[in-house]
Each structure stands twice: as C-alpha cells, then as structure tokens.
Structure 1
Amino acid sequence: MDHVLSALHERLGTLFGDRLVVLAGGTRLSSRAGELHQLGARHTLVLSTDDHAPLHDSQVARWVPLGIAGGFVAVEQNRLTRLLTSPPGHVRDVLADFDPRGEALVISTPYVHTPEFAGRPVLNARRPEWVELENKTTIDALWDELSAPRAPAVVLDLDFEALWAATLELDRGAGVVWSGDGPAINGGANFVRRVRDRAEALEAFEKFAPKCHFVRVMPFLEGIPVSVHGIVFPDGTAVLRPIEMVVPRRAGQARFLYAGCASYYDPPTRIREEMRNLARRVGERLRETVDYRGTFTLDGIATADGFLPTEINTRYGGAMVCFEDALPQLPLSLVQVALVAGHDLGVSSIEFEELLVSAADGYRHGTVGANVRAVDQDEVVERPIVFTEWSCRFAHPDEAPHGVLRLRPSPLGARLELDFAAEQLSPGRPVVALTVAAFALADQEWGTALGPLEPAVPVDDEQITAPVVELDAVTA
C-alpha cells in the first residue's frame, strides 16, 4: 500500500505546503508541528492550552502558552472556544507578528465548532448539524431509521417520578443506565449512571438536574463497551477495527470510570462484522443527510445479543491514537483536517480502509489511565508490573514485565497511566480486568484512592444469541 501513503502525502502537501499554520489546542495537537514541517509548511505557530512547553525546534514551530489549562476537557475547551471567538489583545498581537497578512490556516481541537479565528479559517471546524448528532437522548431515532438492533429506551425530561417509573419498566434485573444530554462536550461517562434502586436514582437525579435537559433510560447491558470508527470520504465510508472502551464499574456505586481505550480486544467475529456493517451504514447516512466528512465513532456494547449501539461522536476521537501508532508514517489527524475542509486526498475510501485496518490488526496499542485527586504528584514515578491471571504486582528485577504503571503530575493532582507490553498479553482478550487489577495495586502502594472497581464481563461466540430488534421502546 505504499502508493496510497505516497498519494496521501502528496495531496496533504498541496494543502499545507509553503503555508503558515496556527495550531490552537493542547499538547497532543502541538505534536502535529513536526508533521506539518515534513509536508512542507513554512512555519507553525502553536497556541497551546498546555503551560509546559514541549521540546521543539524553533525553526519548525513557535510555541506560545495561552494560560487557560482547565484540567477537565470541557472546561479547557470552553475557554479555548471563547478565545477563538473573541481573541484578547495579546493573542491578536502574536497572530499579527506571525501572520501579518492574515493568510495562515488554523487547526484546533476535534471539539471545535468556531469557523474562523481572527479572520483566518479553522479548517477542522465542525458544522452545527454535525455537533447535534452527539446528543445521547436523540440517537435512537437513527438506529430505528437504519433498522439497527438496539436496546429499548425512553427519553424524558427532568421529572424524577417519571424517570423512576421508566427505570422500573426497563430494568431486566441488572438495573438501568441513565444518560443525560449535558453540556456540548459530554464525555468520559460524566453524565452516565447505573441505577439499581431508588437511592441511586435520587443520587443521579441530583447530579443531572442542574446540567441536563433530558435523560435517556435504557437497560443495563452486560458486555464489553466497544467503539468502531468510520471515516467519511466523498466516495464512501472507510470503516476501521473495533476498539475496547476501558470502562470499569465503581463497586457499590452508580458511577463508571472511563479509563481510556485499547485495541488488544478482538470481539467475536459476528460482533465485529455487525459493528463494521452498522458503521458503514451510519457513515453513508451522515454523508447523505448532513454532508458529513471525516471521522466519527460508533459506540455500543458487545453483548450476548450481539452489538447494541448507544451513541455516535461526530469528531476525531481519542481512540484514533491506536491507529496513529499503528501507522506512524501517516499523519492521520491531518487527513481528518483535510477531509473536513473538503480537500481532495486522491485515494478512495476502500484503499484507505484497507491500509488502516491491516496496520491496526497487526499492531495493538492502548492508552489507559485515570485522573487522581487524592495525590498531589510533583514528579513521575513508574514501576514495571506483572499480571497473574487477574491480579497484579510489581515485577521482580529478573522477570519480563507485562506492562508499566506510572503516576505523573497533572493539573488535577496526578495522572495514573498503564502501558501494556503487547507481546506479553493473551491475544484477543479485553484489558479492563487487567486495568482493575493494576489500579488496585496503585491504590495500595501509592494511595491513589480510586476505590474498588469491577470489570465488564466479555461474551464469547458460544454465548451470542440470534440478533433481536426491539422497536417497542417507550417514547416521550
């Protein structure tokens, strides 16, 4: 597939070659400066929400901290949106010095929906009709439109007794899940709660009431949370391999812990194909109805009833790092920017799909971690670890580690990170149980106080039943 890579580099060069580029966002976005330089960009200005300058070549990029780091993604992104919409004087001065003629191209975070920045086009800005599709309380209409199997659900406003009645009606014995339509940026299970009794319902209601307008109630689904990415091209939708969403449950609580993503897990073959087929249909529908371009994620649960979808995210998701690392010679995030900007990439969706799926099936990766508030960390501490089935301990000096557990400084106190040694893992198994074991070790040895966690339970081929379509859901 070398010819596909060559074609992509050539076409990206026609977009960024000999251009000034402004990157407005965090550390991950800042790393694109080197890729832009390789594509022929004249110079890059990095306006960073991260106050700590990365190592960089001043001939390649100029780095300027914005001083608006917020810790939480939603807080930081809201501050960045205000800055892009109404840049303060010192930011305008920096822009004028870097780009006096106002001709630079601007790239911001995957969440951005601001079309321009001080008169300069934001290439990857999302259209309002694309952003609206992320609402968890309206997405069931899309599944029905596409004849996709799904769990029954009801959408209600903030009426506790009505929500409790729906909870009793939809509970299959394991409780239900409430999903709120929260702020524009609603990720990391912020407004998702498992409800098994009236006390948990009251706790969830108190959390949702100040921030949400509607709540979706659906049965709790046992299985591994999974996501599949689609990338919409002008000629079709490239569909990638499934990715495990690492989401342990907090034992005895209604909350979940979103701990990142990993590509080690191989769902049963039928579920993989169900996911990829539905993602292709979703991508084509998005292209037909809202002229969508670029990456979206289709999220759901790999259950004994097959894949049951829960939401889509119409943006370049964090799990795309699994594909970036599988094919590092391809500037994948810049492909996303070019597609959203309507730039011709010179390759077909099928060629792109074959390139990425082949690379990602052959190279497994994970980005697993959690924010820690109980520890105020001022230096990086890391130790190699080994797993014994589902338990975890620090590795002895003379044994090959199965991964590395790390605690590093963070604006929220500390960040706990888990890196796996792919060659030491059992092929195809989810990593959520390993994550639970490693985080328990961190609680014990480093006082991270994440608390008792429970893993999601995977299904195998023998457990999968024939697909069931449930369209008799209650509607509000």
Structure 2
Amino acid sequence: MSDTSTSPLLEEANVYYKALLRPVFEGRRFVLPGNIAVGLGNVANELRKLGAARPFVVAGSRGTGPLPPREDAQMRVLDVRGTDPLDHNRNVQQALANLPSEIQRAIDTWDPDGSARTLHTDPLAEPRPVAGRAAYAARPKAWIDLEDKVVIDAFWDAVGVPRAPSQVVAAEHGALRTAATDLDRGHGTVWAPDAREGANAGAVALRWVRPGDDGREAAASLARIADRVRIMPFLEGIPASIHGVVFPDAVVALRPVEMLVLRPAAGDRLFYAGCSTWFDPRPEDRETMRELARRVGSALREHIGFRGSFSIDGVLAEEGFLPTELNPRLGAGVNTLAGALGDFPLILLCLAVAEGERLDYQPEHLERAVVEAADAHRVCGGGRTTERMLTDTGTIDLVVVGDNYRKAEPGEDPEATLLFGPGPIGGFLRFTLNPDHNKPGPPSAPQAARAFRLADRLLGTDFGFLEAARNVRP
C-alpha cells in the first residue's frame, strides 16, 4: 500500500520549493494553534525540515492518532469540548484568546524576545494573534467577508460565474417559506445562514428542507444564529470543490476534490464526512472547474488584493458544476491534496504567498507537480465526529461483501480501513481506501456510507442510514 506519490517532477519541485522557503522559515519561532493536536504534526515537521525552531503547539483537543513528537514541537492541549465541529472550533478560538497563565508563561519562556509569529493552518480558524504573537498570513476583512453565504452570489454575478438561482431573506419562517416555494426544483431547498456568529463550514449550519417539510424547525434553529438566510434549490449531483492559489502574476488551479456529503434518511441535516480525490469528473467538467478557479482567482486578486490559497465548493449538477460557496483561505481539501505529496511543504508555501513573501514561486512548475502527483496518488480523507464516547483507539480493516463492508479476518488484505478513537465531541472516525484494491474514477461517498454503517454495528455510533449523492454526470 503506497502512502505517497513519487515522480521525478515532484522530487524536483520538492527540492526547489524547500530551498525557496528555507530563508523564510529558518531560525524562526512559530506558535501553532489548532483545534486538534494530531492534525498539527505534519506542519510542525515541515517547519523543522525548513530549519525553523521547534514550534509551540497549542491545541484545543488531542484527537485520534499520533501526536507531534517532542523533537518536532513543544505542546499544550487545552482539553476543549464542543457539541459539534463548529461549536468546538468557536470554543477553541475563545480559549486561544484567553490562555491559562501557565501556558502564557511557557510560551514567553520559549520565546523570550516576543519575536515568534502565530501560524494558523486550521481551515476554520481566523488568523488572529495567540499569546500576543502576531499572526502570519493574517487575512484582511475583505477576504473574510466573501465567505459569508449571503454575499457570495453577488460576487459570482459580478464575475459572470453561472450559478443556481437563490434568494436572501430575513431569518423568519414566512419569508423563508415563500422563497423556498419559488426555488424548489423538486428535491427541496438548502438554507444557509449568514456569518453573524462566524464562519460556517462542514454543513453543520446548513438545512436541507425536503419536499413536504414546512421548514418551521429549520427556521427556528437558523433564527438563533443568523439575521439573514440564503435559499437555494437542493442540487442533485456530486458535491465537489476546486482549489487554487493566487500569486501576484498567476493563478494555479489544482484538481477537483470530492466532498463526502451524505444524506440521512430523514431530518433537515446533511452529513459531512471529509474529502477524497478518488473521484474523477468528466474531463470537460474537470477543465471547466479548473478554468473557473483561474477566473475566480484573478478576480479575487483584482477586486480585493487577494493572495494565497482558496477553494470553490459546489455541486456537479445536471447542467454542470454550480458553485455554492467560496472559501478565501486554506480549504479542507488542501490537506487531502497534500496527502499525495509526502513532505512537500504545500501548506507552508500557500501561507508564504498569503503573507506576501516575495519569492520566485514559479507557479506553472508548482501546478504541474501538484496536479500530476495528486492524479497519480489518490487520497480519501474521510472523517467524522460522533457523540458516541470512544475512549479506545484502534483500526478496523474492511472488506466488501455485497453492498456493505465487514471486518476483515486475520490475513485478509483490506480494501479500506476505519480508524477510531476519542474526539472533542465524543469520538472520531477516519475512513481511508486501500489503493491496491480501489480504482480511481467512481465517487468515494458510497464507500464512506458503508463504513459508517459498519461503525454503527461495531462501535455503536448511531449514525443511522446514510445515502450518497447520485452522479448525474457519469
């Protein structure tokens, strides 16, 4: 089972970009804040390989998997809990803004002259100072504002990007119901709140108001967190995203990433379970998405001076790829793409661009290397929190039987693996596909749904029946 892609082009790029970034990071100190300590290990290791001093990790929760080793980072875990990933993120951000005195003293001892910078890599975090250390690659308000679901459609229209029809109305049941009636294409409507309480992600705040549902429950829940709500038709098709990187003189477009958004049997919630690069859209859809990334990246640079990584989320609907939101920051899929690159410092490179470091980035070289590697080595970063309290950590090897997975017998070669363990909501599961037994092309969401069904039986997670999106452009 191969873990990462290797090719002469990627190896050449790895040597070049590490040499390019070394003067930026060498000898410098960085505070690495984040929601989950386990998720900060790769960046800590990349910093060390670029000659940075041992960073100071401050994480909300431990997470499931190996922690950064002591030689790569000093670390403190705040033991923050949450009711869902968004609630946990907001609790972590509040805790980072009000660090315990012991942790503040430890950081001051580690960085006595106060020269360290705060390096945020968590997609949900706003890059703010931590422990009095200024943020590296801080985002201006104009960048952050475009993540608001109730304003982004005006940007699409200004740039001339085709999109699904929508209406933005007050978070009041009557107005929401009227808009939903106007926009329903037969599959219900999706209601997205504004960013009054901060950025929304992971489908936590979305409501899928299905045919026959009057939306009262959805309206009541959204009114507690928003003033305005965007209504769109529910789009049948594979949820996907496209990532780009904006440079001063170019825009790099990467390959499409499938978003694993599953559908419970009932209710108004959607079930977000991570990302995967196993899915291949039609060649013409792939190129349309990549061209869209270039076009949007150029507009972001022109209109708001944007630089760095961004992503466009949407659905491969019957009429093609239709965007639903813009993330003017590191998107979740960047980590999935980076999973194909070994120790190539993609995240740090994107942050250096966002910071405005003046370097010879050679964008075309970067695009060729990353896209080739991501096409050659597919990654399924399926992950999901559960309210079920999981205290033990382990893995379950999976093999297919009919339309389901079962636990592999000793000696059987697994077709997929399910990692489980503790998490800040209760437990956490990560689903991965074995490249020796899976072919690129089909979407990964059906396999993820199988894995979570098995988790219900073996771990008592109570996810319930989950259905994958239908591919309407096979």
Q: Same fold (TM over 0.5)?
A: yes
Tell me the equivalent position of 1:282: 296
SS of match in other structure, 1:308? strand
Residue 390 of structure 1 deviates from its aligned partner by 3.2
Correspondence 1:240 to 2:254: yes
Residue 30 of structure 1 deviates from its aligned partner by 4.1
Residue 316 of structure 1 deviates from its aligned partner by 0.9
Residue 308 of structure 1 deviates from its aligned partner by 0.8
TM-score (norm 1): 0.90
Tell me the equivalent position of 1:386: 399
- Greater shift, 302-311 or 332-341, is seen at 332-341
Tell me the equivalent position of 2:175: 162
The answer to whether the Cα contact below 8 Å between 1:323 and 1:360 also exists between their aligned partners in 2 is yes
Q: Rate the CA distance shift 1:117–1:377 in 2: closer, same or farther, 3 A.
A: closer
The answer to whether the Cα contact below 8 Å between 1:232 and 1:349 also exists between their aligned partners in 2 is no
Residue 162 of structure 1 deviates from its aligned partner by 1.8
Tell me the equivalent position of 1:9: 18
The answer to whether the Cα contact below 8 Å between 1:178 and 1:194 also exists between their aligned partners in 2 is yes
Write the deviation string for residues 39-91 of structure 1: whole angstroms up to 9, x where unpaired: 11133222232357955554543222334454644334434444554555333
Q: Rate the CA distance shift 1:229–1:291 in 2: closer, same or farther, 3 A.
A: same
Question: Which residue identity is paired with 2:266?
Answer: G
- Greater shift, 200-209 or 217-226, is seen at 200-209
Match of 2:45 among 15, 34, 41: 34
Match of 2:188 among 162, 165, 175: 175
Question: Which residue identity is paired with 1:49?
Answer: G
Cα distance in 2, alignment partners of residues 175 and 304 from structure 1: 16
SS of match in other structure, 1:49? strand
Q: Rate the CA distance shift 1:180–1:303 in 2: closer, same or farther, 3 A.
A: same
Tell me the equivalent position of 2:4: none
Residue 302 of structure 1 deviates from its aligned partner by 0.6
Match of 1:102 among 94, 111, 114: 114
Match of 1:50 among 43, 61, 79: 61
Residue 296 of structure 1 deviates from its aligned partner by 0.8
- Greater shift, 84-93 or 275-284, is seen at 84-93
Residue 368 of structure 1 deviates from its aligned partner by 1.1
The answer to whether the Cα contact below 8 Å between 1:181 and 1:191 also exists between their aligned partners in 2 is no
Residue 29 of structure 1 deviates from its aligned partner by 2.3
Residue 335 of structure 1 deviates from its aligned partner by 1.0
Match of 2:223 among 194, 209, 212: 209
Instruction: Map 1:17-416 to 2 at 5 A.
Output: 17-25=26-34, 26-27=36-37, 28-51=39-62, 55-70=67-82, 72-85=84-97, 87-108=99-120, 109-182=122-195, 183-197=197-211, 199-373=213-387, 375-388=388-401, 390-397=403-410, 399-416=412-429
Residue 135 of structure 1 deviates from its aligned partner by 0.8
SS of match in other structure, 1:120? coil
The answer to whether the Cα contact below 8 Å between 2:149 and 2:193 also exists between their aligned partners in 1 is yes
Cα distance in 1, alignment partners of residues 76 and 455 from structure 2: 35
Cα distance in 2, alignment partners of residues 334 and 191 from structure 1: 30
Cα distance in 2, alignment partners of residues 395 and 79 from structure 1: 38
Question: Which residue identity is paired with 2:16?
Answer: A
Write the deviation string for residues 318-371 of structure 1: whole angstroms up to 9, x where unpaired: 221222121113111111221121113422222211111010000001111322
Q: Rate the CA distance shift 1:74–1:253 in 2: closer, same or farther, 3 A.
A: closer
SS of match in other structure, 2:242? strand
Counting matched residue pairs gives 460
Question: Which residue identity is paired with 1:196?
Answer: R
The answer to whether the Cα contact below 8 Å between 1:164 and 1:198 also exists between their aligned partners in 2 is no
SS of match in other structure, 1:23? strand
Structure 1 gap ranges (5+): 462-476
Q: Rate the CA distance shift 1:164–1:275 in 2: closer, same or farther, 3 A.
A: same
Q: Rate the CA distance shift 1:115–1:431 in 2: closer, same or farther, 3 A.
A: closer
SS of match in other structure, 2:52? coil
SS of match in other structure, 1:29? helix
Cα distance in 1, alignment partners of residues 361 and 169 from structure 2: 44
Residue 126 of structure 1 deviates from its aligned partner by 1.8
Cα distance in 2, alignment partners of residues 399 and 86 from structure 1: 50
The answer to whether the Cα contact below 8 Å between 2:40 and 2:68 also exists between their aligned partners in 1 is no
Cα distance in 1, alignment partners of residues 462 and 240 from structure 2: 27
SS of match in other structure, 1:185? coil
TM-score (norm 2): 0.91
Match of 2:451 among 438, 446, 470: 438
Residue 413 of structure 1 deviates from its aligned partner by 2.0
Give RMSD over aligned pairs: 2.2
Residue 118 of structure 1 deviates from its aligned partner by 4.7
The answer to whether the Cα contact below 8 Å between 1:23 and 1:45 also exists between their aligned partners in 2 is yes
Write the deviation string for residues 7-31 of structure 1: whole angstroms up to 9, x where unpaired: 3112211111112222122322244
Tell me the equivalent position of 2:473: 460
Cα distance in 1, alignment partners of residues 450 and 69 from structure 2: 40
Residue 161 of structure 1 deviates from its aligned partner by 1.3
Structure 2 gap ranges (5+): 1-8
